Amino acid sequence: MALDKLGWAKLAAIFSGLIFGIYWIPLREMESSGFIGLWSVSVFNLIGLLLILPLLAHRWRQLIPGRTKLHLGTLISGVAFVLYAGAFLYTEVIRVIVLFYLLPIWGFLLARVVAGEKITKIRGLSMFLGLSGLVAICGVDQGIPLPTNAGDWMALSAGILWAFASMLMLTDQDDAINYTLGFLFWSATISIIASFAGTLYGVIPTPIWPELSRVVVWLIPFGIIIIIPAAFATMYGPSQLNPGTVGLLFMTEISVGTITAALLAGEPFGLKEVIGVALITLAGVAEPLYQRIPRSSANKT
């Protein structure tokens, strides 16, 4: 059965979650090469921006005159992404992902308040499953973790800002390519400004610039194959789906991030993580699967 526009948007959101579940790996590799803190994020974002400069120049008339809502949405999403990516360098991978993926709660609440969408039973179930998975991963005795350091606060703030950006993009209904260009532009601009400011005030060490020639060999192919497609997928989902649904589909990142962090960074992955990953995966697929059920055999939810 051929997928419609919403179907492709859901697949794009899932793909984005899968890719960004491993995004922490090259970020930490960059940091180990001498690009500390937000400088790792800046180099990645700069590579992405340089790769799309020809398309940016070609479509500038669609991006500049009177595009306030587009740039506001991509600016906020750019800030959210910089906070999210940077958080991986200041706290544990699992804490970043867990705190960011409180996002569906903000998303469904925003959809309710701004667009008047109902929090249906299936969405309520998805939210319950997602939160249950988060609690399982973090430990039932601890519940949902509260921010305890800069990385935690960055991750939590990123989730809230991403929900706002998703709502703006959904109501704007612009071309996903324009969203992608705006997102890459603002992500690079914000991260570079923040990195220079951090270095100027002594918060972030000066990068070891000679190392750039060594890492750029794999950065450019990574940018072409991974960063650009993932950025497009990240923008296409929110441009077509409400923030709560987008957040739930992005939650595939939790499974990937938890498993890779356990295998490659030595973070814990036991029974509670297995249960949490299963619950979060169910949360991500509950609504899409429900919508595939023929309406004649499904109760309205």
Domain ranges of the chain: 13-289
27 vs 29: CA distance, rounded Å: 5
Expressed in percent and rounded to 5, the helix, strand and coil fractions of the chain are: 80, 0, 20
112 vs 38: CA distance, rounded Å: 35
Q: How far is CA 12 from CA 9, 19, 48, 199, 281, in A?
A: 5, 11, 19, 36, 16
The answer to whether the beta carbons of residues 19 and 231 sit under 8 Å apart is: no
The answer to whether the beta carbons of residues 280 and 251 sit under 8 Å apart is: yes
pLDDT tens, position by position, for the chain (301 residues)? 456 778 888 888 888 888 888 989 999 989 988 999 899 999 989 988 998 889 888 888 777 766 778 888 889 999 999 999 999 998 888 888 878 877 767 777 787 787 777 888 887 887 888 778 777 776 656 555 567 788 989 998 998 898 888 788 777 666 778 888 889 999 999 999 999 999 999 889 999 888 888 888 888 888 888 888 888 888 888 777 776 677 677 777 887 888 888 888 888 777 877 787 788 777 767 776 776 676 554 555 4
Q: CA angle at residue 183 from 190 to 222, to 5 degrees?
A: 95
**Residues 103, 7, 179, 251, Cα dihedral to 10°:** 20
Per-position b or e across 90-104, b if 16+ CB within 10 A of its CB: bbbbbbbbbbbbbbb
- pLDDT for 288 equals 65
The answer to whether the beta carbons of residues 126 and 169 sit under 8 Å apart is: no
The whole-model pTM stands at 0.83
Q: Which amino acid is at 76?
A: I
Q: CA angle at residue 126 from 125 to 128, to 5 degrees?
A: 65
| Polymer length of the chain | 301
Burial class (CB within 10 angstroms; exposed 0-12, middle 13-18, buried 19+) of 107: buried
Q: 65: which residues sit within 8 A by CB, 6+ positions away?
A: none
The answer to whether the beta carbons of residues 118 and 282 sit under 8 Å apart is: no
- pLDDT for 187 equals 94
274 vs 155: CA distance, rounded Å: 22
- Closest alpha carbon to 235 in 289, 186, 279: 186
- pLDDT for 139 equals 64
- Closest alpha carbon to 38 in 260, 222, 212, 187: 187
The answer to whether the beta carbons of residues 48 and 188 sit under 8 Å apart is: yes
238 vs 18: CA distance, rounded Å: 16
